[in-house]
Structure 1
Amino acid sequence: MGVAIRRAGAADREDVIRLLDAALVHDPVSSWVFPEEGHRLRTHRALMGAFLDIALDEGYVDVTEDGAAAALWWSVPAGPHGDDAGAEDGPALLRRAVDPGNERVEVIGRLTEAIHPTDRAHEYLHLIAVRPDRQGEGLGTALVTAVLDRCDRDGLHAYLEASNARSRDLYARLGFTFMGTTLDLPDGPPMWPMWRAPRV
């Protein structure tokens, strides 16, 4: 039996934020951004909300019909990004909105921007989350595969940064290839930039 997937909208906002927070609050990267657990438990939800709002506004969000899993995507054109004269500084704005005293909110945005490929148009998987009690059922794989099938049909590449070794291995099984150099967060965990060419 297949997994039913739909496009999320503004009406899904609170449910998706709750899901992202529950699924990712103990992720190695989230733990690096908010190293003090009590502060993370209070503030992580705001960061997930900010990411979701950006995706709803500038990208797209897919959810399983039962709301147990969600993926935040962007369609990224080829060419430099974020260099427009007068453009607002995204990482700084995010830090100001979410946790002004925490420079790591801004640092991670700058580091991921710096390694993001610019030479080819691609679909960018920014975040994916599966409710903790539903992990291991293939929901995340179904969400990613739905977009990858479209990438294959349309000749599009795909990109992501895996935040832990388990997800890196899962993405490798889906055709993503490690790009060769980890993004090592200062005094923190590695992230694995991964690229997938369309399958003909």
Structure 2
Amino acid sequence: MLPKTFSKAEQKKHWYLFIMGTAIDRRRQGLASELLVYVQDRARSDGRPLWLEATTEISRDLYLKHGFKTVGEVILGKGQVGPDGMPKKGGEGVVIWCMCWRP
């Protein structure tokens, strides 16, 4: 989906946010938001778009709150796993939301 979303120039210069997580006992303290604002400020100063894939509805909603746009969904393991990624015959699969942000 990235090539359908970003121009060739954006594809060459975008930043990819690969993994972000918060320890269970540190959640709901604004740490992820603080990190996102920092990365967005840096990307804005460099004129770079951001790309990521959200793997939970909670993370997707956090990114939406920070101005990311959902550009598509990918379903992994449909028919083989449940939404938690565990084996499940005829399972719904795991939804991943492809998201971007532009300065």
Fold similarity call, TM over 0.5: yes
Q: CA RMSD in A?
A: 1.3
Answer 1 or 2: which has greater helix percent.
1
Between the two proteins, the alignment pairs up a number of residues equal to 83
Query: Helix, strand or coil for the counterpart of 2:19?
Result: strand
Which residue, 60, 73, 83 being the options, matches 1:182? 73
Structure with greater contact order relative to length (CA < 8 Å, sep ≥ 6): 2
Aligned to 1:193: 98
Name the CA distance, whole Å, in 2 between partners of 1:146 and 1:161.
Answer: 18
**TM-score of the pair, normalised by structure 1:** 0.40
1:66-81 alignment runs, 5 A limit: none
Aligned to 2:32: 140
Aligned to 2:47: 155
**2:78 maps to 1:167:** no
Identity %: 35
Name the CA distance, whole Å, in 2 between partners of 1:196 and 1:156.
Answer: 9
Name the CA distance, whole Å, in 1 between partners of 2:25 and 2:58.
Answer: 17
Name the CA distance, whole Å, in 1 between partners of 2:17 and 2:102.
Answer: 14
Shift of the alpha carbon at 1:176? 0.5
Name the CA distance, whole Å, in 2 between partners of 1:145 and 1:128.
Answer: 13
Name the CA distance, whole Å, in 2 between partners of 1:151 and 1:159.
Answer: 11
Name the CA distance, whole Å, in 1 between partners of 2:21 and 2:59.
Answer: 11
Shift of the alpha carbon at 1:145? 1.3
Name the CA distance, whole Å, in 1 between partners of 2:24 and 2:2.
Answer: 29
CA deviations on 1:62-92 (whole Å, 9 max, x unpaired) are: xxxxxxxxxxxxxxxxxxxxxxxxxxxxxxx
Name the CA distance, whole Å, in 1 between partners of 2:39 and 2:46.
Answer: 10
AA matched with 2:66: L
Aligned to 1:3: none
Name the CA distance, whole Å, in 2 between partners of 1:152 and 1:133.
Answer: 31
**TM-score of the pair, normalised by structure 2:** 0.74
Segments of structure 1 that go 5 or more residues without pairing to the other structure are 1-114
Please identify the structure whose Cα radius of gyration is greater. Answer: 1
Query: Helix, strand or coil for the counterpart of 1:136?
Result: coil
